[in-house]
Amino acid sequence: MTTDEAKEIIRQKKTTFGKRLVILGHHYQSDKVVEFCDYIGDSLELARKASAIADAEVIVFCGVYFMAETASILASDKAVYIPDAKAGCPLADMAEPKDVENAWGIITDITRSITPITYVNSSVEMKAFCGRNSGVVCTSGNAARVFEWAFKRTDKIIFFPDKNLGRNTAVSMGIPEDMIAQWDPSRKGGGLDEEAIAKAKVILWNGWCPVHWPGLDPSDVGMVRKKYPGIKVIVHPEADPKTVELSDAKGSTAQILNYVRSLPKGTGVAIGTEFNMVDRVRADFSRALNVIPLKKVFCDDMARITVEKIALTLSDLDKAHRVKVPDKIATDAKIALEAMLEIS
Ligand code: 13P
Ligand code: SF4
């Protein structure tokens, strides 16, 4: 199938399905895919949208698997499809439920005043774990609000799986470095002794997004500032804390877009996140701003979604990949997801 044929099929299917079909897409999707999305957003906006869609029966999710899973849990009366089931997220796989249960057992023997929070970029089992243990999900767009909510309930937080988002959020809330500990699941007792666990306000899991870390290096910020004096720099909070510290701002993909919109005409801005999004922002704002990538970084998993695969999905839903989460896991995960939506 050629790209033009695929586009024609999608157009026809969208007409046939009408309001029964909604195509959701993440900001990291290619322009070709974005052209057919009814709604584009960051993880938080897409979760909200999925939970609020009224008419549709079918959702085609153009993003990575955990996002489609989240949509299927929040829109459980709809059939959610992903055009490529192999579009995973390496970060989401970095917290293994058995390692997490082990850590939880050790830590809760020391203190019960702790809230488990999982980044939405995690497995559905992790979300269910948080649901079962009075915890919550967060995204990069609401992490600080969710942390604040947790600190009103308990003294400590354990945050899975992205150490960088966790540290960047904790630091931005003024939590001192010596009260942030990191649990390394490959080491006995996570590599932490009882004193370190007792002292910590935030315990981070040792996971990371390979697109944002260590790729977006602090030296990249220095280099763009030297080359383009006066340039603004904004990065995604999955980047290294030092990179974030040297930047002017950090934010989710939607927050990055809002930041760019707020800049006065003629400003230069370097964006540290996935290139598909940066390049689209560059094109969309080309008359007003000079937008450059802090560095060109790509998410190969997001790129698995293509117009050809969307066309195949819509052509035969029986053969397409429908995202289904077992009922028990979905029920527990939904508790943690809905807690998040209520907070922010
Ligand atoms: P956002 O929620 O900021 O869109 O981020 C999702 C993601 O996967 C970033 O790598
Ligand atoms: Fe996962 Fe990173 Fe890709 Fe986002 S950019 S989907 S966190 S691998």
Q: SS3 for the chain, per residue? A: CCHHHHHHHHHHHHHHHHHHEEEEEECCCCHHHHCCCCEEECHHHHHHHHHHCCCCCEEEEECCHHHHHHHHHHCCCCEEECCCCCCCCHHHHHCCHHHHHHHHHHHHHHCCCEEEEEECCCCHHHHHHHHHCCCEEECCCCHHHHHHHHHHHCCEEEEECEHHHHHHHHHHCCCCHHHEEEECCCCHHHHCCHHHHHHCCEEEECECCCCCCCCCCHHHHHHHHHHCCCCEEEECCCCCHHHHHHCCEECCHHHHHHHHHHCCCCCEEEEECEHHHHHHHHHHCCCCCEEEECCCECCCCHHHCCHHHHHHHHHCCCCCCECCCCHHHHHHHHHHHHHHHHHC
User: Best of 69, 122, 164, 212 to mutate for ligand 2, by most ligand atoms within 8 A of CB?
Assistant: 212
| Residues having CB within 6 Å of any atom of ligand 1 | 27, 42-43, 121, 139-141, 209, 236, 238, 252-253
Q: pTM (2 decimals)?
A: 0.97
The domain segmentation of the chain, as residue ranges, is 3-87+302-325, 92-209, 218-293
| Res. 344 pLDDT band, cuts 50 70 90 | confident
Query: Is residue 92's pLDDT more than 90?
Result: yes
CA of 121 to the centre of ligand 2 (A): 8
218-293 shares the fold of 3-87+302-325: yes
Fold of domain 3-87+302-325: Rossmann fold (3.40.50)
Domain spanning 92-209: which CATH class is it, in words? alpha beta
Q: According to the model, what pLDDT value does residue 265 have?
A: 97
pLDDT digits (tens, 9 = 90+) for 175-231: 999 999 999 999 999 999 999 999 999 999 999 999 999 999 999 999 999 999 999
CATH of domain 218-293: 3.40.50.10800
Q: Is the CB of 90 under 6 A from ligand 2?
A: yes
